[in-house]
Amino acid sequence: SAAQIAQETGGVFALHLPAAGTTVEASADASLLQSLLRAGQPWPASCRNGTCRACIGQLQAGPFHAVRTLPEEKASGAVLPCVACPTSDVVLTAPVD
């Protein structure tokens, strides 16, 4: 669980955003979207529960704990930042229109 990972690791990871040229802190017990917004990074979002898919992005590197990602999305590297929590440092790129 996210709480267990946070306790075991100290709970703070680096969330690298190559397109923005920045890195923000990502907590294991918060979604990637929460970490992005907390750091003032703009990111498309709507439902915040994985249903609408407005926030979908590409995970370039790093494992995460997620729910609601379809098998074909996960296989292609897609991630829903609103329901994904990091389990280590991650590299994330924004959705492509």
Average pLDDT for consecutive 10-residue bins of the chain (97 residues)?
Answer: 58 92 92 95 92 90 73 85 90 79
Give the model's pLDDT for residue 8.
Answer: 63
Give the model's pLDDT for residue 71.
Answer: 83
Q: pTM to 2 decimals?
A: 0.82
Give the model's pLDDT for residue 45.
Answer: 92
Quote the CA–CA distance of 18 and 1 in Å, as a whole number: 28
Give the model's pLDDT for residue 65.
Answer: 66
Give the model's pLDDT for residue 64.
Answer: 67
